[in-house]
């Protein structure tokens, strides 16, 4: 249990998070998710946006981008570029199986009342959590001090040939594939399971939205909540790429935090039958 | 539910026995002439599935197998259902199954049914995907073995014309 606490903090201190607090819809969007042939390439866009999937706000930086090959090797993004609205990179798939592309961060978030009742925060908007900075900045006996153990994850998957299993980090809110994310078809329900710090959890709120929101008036959000096994079953409303966002909060935190909160987002492609 | 159906299929199969003689399926696939600005001969996959949709055998696969650096394989995934049911687990080209793409016209394919095939309901699936074009999947339902000669026809709507299955006892 103690070990479980130390690890995320260390990782958080090492990571330079690219995801800032105000990021509502941050995503990594693959152009294609199911591939065949010899060493095909996939191109990706990373952005924070309102409409899905348009580039209408800011890019997601690549600082904490981690790409795993099917056998767990770390791969570097190719042709990396960050513009005004998006970050772009390519990936060559040399081995058969599933590639896991993710950005994640963990850390503590503190809120307290400063002098004259002024609300104070650490990290502030746009700031990155660092353990030593946290120790310095946050007064241990401040009024109304509330510390949240917070985690974020944004990810996607692409497969060459037969999709393969991928591993969970056991940190923060994560998705475990019961139905493989690169094996999704209209007319077939997809089952996903949500884990918080390595344990399946009930009560994760999940919103699923098909791409093309700019071209329809109703965003047609599908809402789900995980059951006692941490599972949801999604009934896709048409083919396309989907944005899935999940959030979870409880009070099972490690001290000094009093609660833990996880957010998760992923992009999946659903193919026509 | 699924398990039960499998069990019933197994029991029935066991009861009725495997088909004794080698039977040859004939499949005719019409590829329509299309009035389009840019025409490429479609990729085409024919395969056999059981009643539950599990892949049994590949009958034919037509694609650009001779392209430089095996670039033709890059588009195999566009035969979406076939790719998922079979293609993604295979090495290419597949012996005895792979052929070159064909243009408009009626094309004949033959397939010797596996000797160990259990009696029951099967589906022959024909999927076509055309570069810069559409995709279509046509399914022919057949109950094996047959007691008399049969011909089953299904009509494609876009990428496929008439698809026929002929089988003699």
Residue with tokens 């909160």: A261
pLDDT beyond 50 at B2: no
Give chain B's mean pLDDT.
88
The stretch A79-84 carries a mean pLDDT of 96
Residue B19 confidence (pLDDT): 52
> Which one of B53, B78, B84 would you mutate to disrupt binding with A, by most A Cβ within 10 Å of its Cβ?
B84
Residue B119 confidence (pLDDT): 94
Cβ–Cβ gap B87/A37 under 8 Å: no
Q: Which residues contact A266 (CB under 8 A, 6 or more apart)?
A: A154, A155, A156, A157, A175, A181, A243, A244
DSSP assignment of A161-216 equals SS-------SSSEEEEESS-TTSEETTS-EEEEEEETTEE-S--EEEEEES-GGG-
Residue A124 confidence (pLDDT): 87
Residue B20 confidence (pLDDT): 54
Rounded to an integer, what distance in angstroms lies between the CA atom of residue A42 and that of residue A94? Answer: 11
Residue B131: CA atoms inside 13 Å, Cβ hemisphere, count? 14
Q: Quick one: pLDDT band at residue B21, thresholds 50, 70, 90?
A: low
> For the purposes of burial, counting CB atoms within 10 Å of the CB of B101, is it exposed (0-12), middle (13-18) or buried (19 or more)?
middle
Interval A204-232: pLDDT, tens: 999 999 999 999 999 999 999 999 999 99
**ipTM at complex level:** 0.78
CB A87 within 8 A of CB A59: yes
Nearest-neighbour CA in chain B from A92: distance (Å): 13
Among B119, B120, B72, which Cα is nearest to B98's? B72
Interval A119-139: pLDDT, tens: 999 998 878 889 999 999 999
B76, B81, B137 ranked by CB distance to A36: nearest: B76
A38, A183, A272 ranked by CB distance to B84: nearest: A183
Nearest-neighbour CA in chain B from A93: distance (Å): 12
Rounded to an integer, what distance in angstroms lies between the CA atom of residue A261 and that of residue B32? Answer: 57
Residue A163 confidence (pLDDT): 97
Residue with tokens 């394989």: B73
Q: Quick one: pLDDT band at residue B11, thresholds 50, 70, 90?
A: very low
Chain A residues touching residue B63 (CB < 8 angstroms): none
Cβ–Cβ gap B88/A271 under 8 Å: no
Q: Quick one: pLDDT band at residue A273, thresholds 50, 70, 90?
A: confident
pLDDT beyond 70 at A26: yes
Q: Quick one: pLDDT band at residue A22, thresholds 50, 70, 90?
A: very low
């Amino acid at each position: 249990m103690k070990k479980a606490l130390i690890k995320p903090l260390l990782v958080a201190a090492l990571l330079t998070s690219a995801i800032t607090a105000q990021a509502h819809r941050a995503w990594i969007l693959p152009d294609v998710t199911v591939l065949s042939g010899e060493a095909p390439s996939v191109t990706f866009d990373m952005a924070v946006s309102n409409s899905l999937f348009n580039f209408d706000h800011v890019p997601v930086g690549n600082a904490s981008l981690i790409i795993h090959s099917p056998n767990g090797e770390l791969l570097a993004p190719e042709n990396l570029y960050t513009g005004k609205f998006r970050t772009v990179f390519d990936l060559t798939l040399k081995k058969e199986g599933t590639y896991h592309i993710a950005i994640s961060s963990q850390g503590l978030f503190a809120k307290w009342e400063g002098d004259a009742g002024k609300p104070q925060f650490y990290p502030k908007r746009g700031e990155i959590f660092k353990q030593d900075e946290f120790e310095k900045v946050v007064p241990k006996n401040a009024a109304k001090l509330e510390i949240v153990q917070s985690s974020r994850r944004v990810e996607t998957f692409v497969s060459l040939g037969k999709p393969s299993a991928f591993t969970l980090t056991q940190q923060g809110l994560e998705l475990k594939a019961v139905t493989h994310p690169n094996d999704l078809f209209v007319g077939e329900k997809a089952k996903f399971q949500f884990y918080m710090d390595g344990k399946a959890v009930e009560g994760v709120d999940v919103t699923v939205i098909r791409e093309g929101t700019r071209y329809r008036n109703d965003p047609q959000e599908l809402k789900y909540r995980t059951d006692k096994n941490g599972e949801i079953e999604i009934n896709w409303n048409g083919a396309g790429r989907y944005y899935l966002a999940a959030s979870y909060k409880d009070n099972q935190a490690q001290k000094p935090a009093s609660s833990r909160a996880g957010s998760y987002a992923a992009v999946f492609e659903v193919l026509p039958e | 539910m699924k398990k039960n159906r499998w069990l019933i299929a197994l029991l029935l199969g066991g009861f009725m026995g495997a088909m004794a003689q080698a039977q040859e399926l004939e499949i005719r696939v019409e590829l329509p002439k299309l009035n389009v600005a840019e025409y490429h001969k479609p990729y085409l996959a024919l395969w056999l599935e059981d009643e539950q949709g599990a892949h049994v055998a590949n009958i034919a696969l037509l694609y650009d197998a001779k392209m430089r650096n095996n670039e033709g394989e890059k588009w195999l995934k566009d035969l979406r259902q076939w790719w998922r049911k079979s293609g993604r687990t295979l090495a290419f080209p597949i012996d005895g199954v792979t052929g070159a793409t064909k243009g408009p016209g009626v094309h004949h394919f033959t397939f010797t049914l596996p000797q160990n095939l259990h009696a029951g309901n099967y589906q022959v699936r024909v999927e076509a995907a055309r570069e810069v074009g559409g995709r279509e999947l046509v399914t022919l339902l057949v109950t094996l073995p047959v007691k008399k000669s049969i011909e089953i026809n299904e009509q494609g709507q876009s990428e496929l014309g008439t698809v026929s299955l002929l089988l003699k006892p």
